[in-house]
Structure formats: structure tokens, C-alpha cells
Amino acid sequence: MARFLIVEARFYDHLNDMLIAGARAALKEAGHKVEVLTVPGALEVPGAIALASESGEYDGYVALGVVIRGETYHFEIVAGESARGIMALTMDGLAIGNGILTTENEAQAIYRADPAQANKGAGAARAAMALLALREKYA
């Protein structure tokens, strides 16, 4: 049994609730322990994972959140930089599943977040579990 930390960028409550439900169910179904940490936005997710990793308490991480395109360039910065930060941590050996949705509109986000539809929260949890298994295999 491994310990996973879900780090969620709490901006769209109803969408995050669906993502967390999917991720939590996938991790618990696999027999893992789960905790949730909330940060203000997607840009804070990589930093929070980096800080939490220093504790040595967690075996893997699931990054969750929703970034919906707006009328400014801010969408590109948030989407790109949060993904870049998560990828950098993954390349450093952390097992992270990236479930930060980047969509054009809320309808796309609902479809992807909903456990009864695309269930991207569970997908991110499965990715984290797969990376943890690879890390253990090659340790």
C-alpha cells in the first residue's frame, strides 16, 4: 500500500469535486492511502508537490485542477507553466499523474472531470500509480 497526495488547484469547486472523486476512487480501489491538499491555483500545484515531497511522507502525487480559456493570454501561461513544473518534478523522479484540465469552455471541463464520463481524475491517479510502479521497478 502506497501513500498518495492529491494536490488540487481549487478554483472551480464543482469541477474539482468530480476530479477528486475519480482520483480518490481509483487510488482507494488499488488499496492506497489518499490525502488531499488544496492550493489556490494551477501555478501553485508544482510548488506544493515539491514541498510535500521533501517530507518523504508520500510515494506519489496526483495534480488536479481546471484551467478554462479566457479572453487573455493568462490561460497559456497557467496551462503551460503548471505542466512544465509538473514535468520537471516527474523528470526528477517523482511519480505524478497530471490531471490539470485545460479546456476551451466549461462544457468540455465537465465532460472530462465527471467520473461517469471521461473521468480524467481517475486517469491521473492511474498515471501516478503507473509511474510509481516504474520507479520501484528501476530503483
| Domains in the chain, CATH or no CATH each | 3-138 (3.40.50.960)
Cα gap 139→129, rounded to integer Å: 15
- Cell digits of residue 22: 475519480
Give, in order, the Cα–Cα distances in Å from 133 to each of 84, 108, 116, 137, 139: 22, 31, 27, 6, 10
> How far is Cα 29 from Cα 92, in angstroms, rounded to an integer?
27
* Catalytic residue of the set 3, 74, 87, 133: 74
Q: What is the pLDDT of residue 73?
A: 82
Q: What is the pLDDT of residue 33?
A: 98
126 labelled ligand-binding: no
**If you average pLDDT over every residue of the chain, what do you get?**
97
Q: What is the pLDDT of residues 47-105, one digit of tens each?
A: 999 999 999 999 999 999 999 998 888 899 999 999 999 999 999 999 999 999 999 99
pLDDT digits (tens, 9 = 90+) for 89-105: 999 999 999 999 999 99
pLDDT at 6 over 90: yes
Q: Does 127 show up as a binding residue in the annotation? A: no
The answer to the question of whether 43 is labelled as a binding residue is: yes
Q: Is 74 a catalytic residue?
A: yes
Q: Is 54 annotated as a binding residue?
A: no
Q: Write the single-letter amino acid at 108.
A: Q
- The answer to whether 98 is a known ligand-binding residue is yes
